[in-house]
Amino acid sequence: MALNEATAHELITRLQQREVTARELVQATLDRIDAVDGQINAFISIDAEGALTHADEIDRRRAKNEPLGPLAGIPIALKDVLCVRGGRTTCGSKILEHYIAPYDATAVAQLRAADAIIIGKTNMDEFAMGSSCENSYFGPTLNPRDPERVPGGSSGGSAAAVAADETILALGTDTGGSVRQPAGYCGVVGLKPTYGRVSRYGLVAYASSLDQIGPISKDVEDTALLLQAIAGHDPRDSTSIDVPVPDYLAGLKDGIKGLKVGLAQEHFPAGLDAEVATAAQSAAATLADAGAELVDVQLPVAGHPEYCIGTYYLIAMGEASANLTRYDGVKYGHRAEGDLNLQEMYLRTRSEGFGEEVKRRIMLGTYALSAGYYDAYYRKAQQVRTLIRQDFEKAFTTCDILLSPVAPTTAFRLGEQTDDPLQMYLNDIYTASVNLAGIPGISVPYANGADGLPIGIQLLAPPLEEAKLLRMAYALERTTA
């Protein structure tokens, strides 16, 4: 197996045993990027020189037996919504095409402390708004499993880069499913941690109360490794949780005997794609074989897309409309040229700098927050959000883990849903409620559809129960191997 095809936990051992060097590993991923990224377009920027220099430094330190971080020498790709000091951070947008971040995101600083090697920034739907990675100013990313299909979104570049072996690890961000859905579509593992488990400082905000950074990797063990490196309280993020980080690897392989896996009937409506439904039921059955107990649960609000999708988009767009006001051409980023007065400068800058979907969401969000509509939309959505959270709380009184599909279908064709934003929004029916509730969720590849494309399974756990979630995901992964 080529170096770039291996997992991080395998490579860490091989690096430690001096079988390979960090330079060889980084070079292998860079070669792979050279070979395939012209087609896949998973990356917006690649820092080959910086990555190799860093790799050499790691190798030198290892040669001197200096202490190294847990991810020493492992290449990682970052969704281009995470600030890396001195590097371009575009958010997939023209408006930030040339923006150089003056600081490191906390998660990035943690990766540096773990001695991981940042090889580049990955493509994404503009400002993380999208489910297909087609809304990027830098062109769409293609699904490595089938270049006619989308990789999912918004972290499509990160999922595709991992799936195409262009990197060993990646970070994405998940606001309504943006890590889990592309992981599902590309056949890799993607985790959205509990809201507040990973610092959002330096994650360019789409919807502040929903955004979380999450690992994308080839297997569950790598996800646990990566989460270990980035989880923790950050005084710079008031919404981060001040609770000690457990050892996610410690009990990973302990099995799932006695754990209760809940299935909500609402997650299997009549019209659900038969392959997807079958895969989820089969996954539940194999977990039962492995010692889990299956239970039926109800999610009368959280299980209904008509509540969740509306609530999710009202809150996300409302927050986004304010979060994106700072891109006004005054301080940084694109500014319209010409002899313009202030209003014209704002109007032209934002009209030129933002893509269609971003403009749509800013307008919808602005509307939802407007005087006279606030109570009917934004406030109401917050009330429904509380009901959704309570739904999950109640469900978790009778089970440890919830199991559902990740998305209603396998990866769709490029261009298939771009003309119908509402259809596109329905990609999030299994994932958005999870962000609204703030609970952790993971997408694990489980089966392949008749089209040969991966079908992912979503597992959910109560807040801060990532260890249990990963244990269940690890067990599920074993049944597919």
| Piece of 154-162, 194-202, 390-398, 404-412 that binds another protein (CB under 8 A) | 194-202
Q: How far apart are CA 225 and CA 70, in angstroms?
A: 8
Query: What gap in Å lies between CA 197 and CA 217, rounded to an integer?
Result: 18
Distance CA 257, CA 478 (A): 14
Query: What single DSSP character describes residue 231?
Result: B
Single-letter amino acid, residue 245? V
Task: Please say if 154 is a catalytic residue.
Answer: yes
Write down the H helix ranges in 290-379.
Answer: 305-323, 342-353, 356-369
**Active-site pick, 93, 136, 155, 178:** 178
Cα separation, 225 vs 477, in Å, equals 16
Smallest distance from another protein to CB 380, Å: 13
Q: Are 252 and 474 in contact (CB under 8 A)?
A: yes
- The interface region with another protein, picked from 64-72, 97-105, 174-182, 250-258 by CB under 8 A, is 97-105
Tell me how far CA of residue 360 lies from CA of 306, 357, 417, in angstroms. Answer: 20, 5, 16
Contact by Cβ (8 Å): 136, 125: yes
Which residue's CB is nearer to another protein, number 32 or number 197?
197
For 372, phi then psi, to 5°, come to: 95, -20
Burial class (CB in 10 A: 0-12, 13-18, 19+), 67: exposed
Applying the rule CB under 8 A, the residues between 63 and 82 that interact with another protein are: 81-82
Whether residue 79 lies in the annotated active site: yes
268 lies in the binding site for another protein (CB under 8 A) = no
Query: 208 or 480: whose CB is closer to another protein?
Result: 208
Q: Does 99 engage in binding with another protein (CB under 8 A)?
A: yes
Among this protein's residues, is 404 annotated catalytic? no
Kindly state whether residue 91 participates in binding another protein, applying the rule CB under 8 A.
yes
Rounded CA separation 125/73 (Å): 29
Site for another protein contains 17 (CB under 8 A): no
By CB under 8 A, tell whether 45 contacts another protein: no
Beta-carbon count within 10 A of 224 CB: 27
Site string for another protein, 396-415 (x = CB under 8 A): --------------------
Part of the chain binding another protein (CB under 8 A), chosen from 88-96, 140-148, 280-288, 391-399: 88-96
User: What residues between 327 and 366 interact with another protein by CB under 8 A?
Assistant: 328, 330-332, 342, 346, 366
Is 434 among the residues that bind another protein (CB under 8 A)?
no
Catalytic residue among 136, 154, 240, 443: 154
Residues known to be catalytic: 79, 154, 178
Task: Name the residues that contact another protein, by CB under 8 A.
Answer: 81-83, 89, 91, 96, 99, 101-103, 105, 200-205, 207-209, 235-239, 318-319, 321-322, 325-326, 328, 330-332, 342, 346, 366, 369-371, 374, 378
